[in-house]
Structure 1
Amino acid sequence: MTQPPAALPPSCDDLQKKKRGRPKCFDEQQALEKAMLLFWEHGYEATSISDLTHALALTAPSLYSSFGDKTGLFYKCIDYYLAHEACPIEAIFLEAKTTKVAFELFLYDNVQRLAQPDKPSGCMLVVATMNCSDNAQAIQYNILEKRLKTKQKMLQRLQQGVVDGDLAATAPLAEMADFYSTVLQGLTIQARDGATVAQLHKVVEHAMRTWELF
């Protein structure tokens, strides 16, 4: 009876393919967190594929197969940031008894997140695309839309304040939303420049005193 041929040992190409595959201990969430921190600290364009593969301990083919290109990975990192690092604006606005309290809590919560000792300073939605060239305009617009959504949520909370009766019907809601979104972005720049939590708290205190001027 004819015996089936013995299995051939793996070729060098086969071994190389296995080596280029995803590591056994690969954890996508951990990888996203590491990539997020790089983009957050250095910005989208200044973070290279080499930086990412080194930080994530992945080869470039593994990175591409797992996350797509650099832009795709950046967008996933933004989603991770919004889910795990950004201020929970909806919960704060929903639970606060008045609109003023909602904005005050929102700003103070942001301060704690903008100046963490173990994380990059500032808001990733602001700092990650600050110095991008024209080649990254699509990415800048995408992030701008996300910032505008936050501003829209602020405006909606102000409108709810009018409905609830804790804001006058004549209050300039659009101007208030513009002002406090500007304060929020200013806090990011100050944190990036090294301002302490105590200094940022003082900014919030003065911003909330301005509430009565509207």
Structure 2
Amino acid sequence: MKTSKTPLTRPRGRPRSFDRNTVLDRAMRLFWLRGYETTSLAELLKAMDVTTPSIYSAFGDKEHLFLEAIKRYIDGPGRYQADALEEKTAKGAVTRILSQAVESMVDPLTPPGCMLTLSAINCSAASASVQQAVTEARRQTELALCRRIERGIAEGDVPAGTDAAALAGFYATFLYGMSIKALEGVTRAQARAMADAALRAWPTD
């Protein structure tokens, strides 16, 4: 049985030309919707509307295609998390993250939830490297939030003595759970109410 790291068979013939970003967006949506392991190469070829030699020359194998799709997600639909950290206060940053997460995760024009949470949630040992890459991407996102909270403590808009790592972990965990709720069909109003409840956990003096 082939693993996800097995390169695509290189057929003869001239590869078809295509817009790389367009087909990568299509792959991203499919991985986001179905997950890494349950998405077959045949489904990818159909969704991306490319030939096997074209996808081989552009991405090499399914794993590398997935990793590029993850980066595309972080720089695209998931960009709101990094952008929100530019808010003037740490609480403002978290408020914006939760608000935009709700809009993103229940948007009917995109797959539900967060791709970083859902696309590699249950991988076999054969896909351990993929799961590790996604886990590291989530860790970096949480670390960036932790650093923003630490900055808030230093600047005085977060109470002194606040455990920045624990607070960042709390909101990261909330977002993971919201992805599952989005997958289950939570409404926008319900998701907003949950986000408001999470914000009430923000530390006060």
Tell me if TM exceeds 0.5.
yes
- The answer as to whether partners of 1:87 and 1:110 remain within 8 angstroms in 2 is no
Aligned to 1:9: none
CA distance in 2, matches of 1:143, 1:124: 9
Aligned partner (choices 74, 81, 84) of residue 92 of structure 1? 84
| SS of corresponding position for 2:201 | helix
Instruction: Encode CA deviations 1:141-176: one digit per residue, 9 max, x unaligned.
Output: 110000000110111011001111111221122221
Distance 1:213-1:164 versus aligned 2 partners, 3 A rule: closer
CA distance in 1, matches of 2:51, 2:88: 51
Aligned partner (choices 124, 132, 148) of residue 133 of structure 1? 124
CA distance in 2, matches of 1:21, 1:196: 47
Mark the runs of 5 or more structure 1 residues left unpaired by the alignment: 1-15
Aligned partner (choices 59, 71, 94) of residue 67 of structure 1? 59
Q: Does 1:30 align with 2:46?
A: no
Alpha-carbon RMSD:
1.6
Runs of 4+ with deviation above 3 angstroms: none
Mark the runs of 5 or more structure 2 residues left unpaired by the alignment: 1-10
> Displacement of 1:188 after TM fit?
0.8
Aligned partner (choices 14, 21, 27) of residue 21 of structure 1? 14
Match of 1:197, as an amino acid?
Answer: R
Aligned to 2:147: 156
Larger Rg: 1
Distance 1:66-1:87 versus aligned 2 partners, 3 A rule: closer
Aligned to 2:4: none
> Displacement of 1:208 after TM fit?
0.6
Q: Does 1:185 align with 2:176?
A: yes
Aligned to 1:42: 34
Listed as ranges, the matches of 1:51-62 within 5 Å are: 51-62=43-54
Number of corresponding residues: 195
Aligned to 2:71: 79
> Displacement of 1:182 after TM fit?
0.7
Aligned partner (choices 160, 163, 182) of residue 172 of structure 1? 163
Q: TM-score, normalised by structure 2?
A: 0.90
- The answer as to whether partners of 2:116 and 2:134 remain within 8 angstroms in 1 is yes
- Which structure features the higher share of helix residues? 1
Q: TM-score, normalised by structure 1?
A: 0.86
Instruction: Encode CA deviations 1:157-210: one digit per residue, 9 max, x unaligned.
Output: 110011111112211222211111111111111111110111111111000111
CA distance in 1, matches of 2:189, 2:28: 26
> Displacement of 1:30 after TM fit?
0.8
Q: Percent identical across equivalent pairs? A: 35
Aligned partner (choices 112, 120, 134) of residue 103 of structure 2? 112
> Displacement of 1:213 after TM fit?
6.4
- The answer as to whether partners of 1:155 and 1:174 remain within 8 angstroms in 2 is yes
CA distance in 2, matches of 1:167, 1:56: 46
> Displacement of 1:135 after TM fit?
1.0
- The answer as to whether partners of 1:111 and 1:201 remain within 8 angstroms in 2 is yes
> Displacement of 1:28 after TM fit?
0.9
Aligned to 1:203: 194
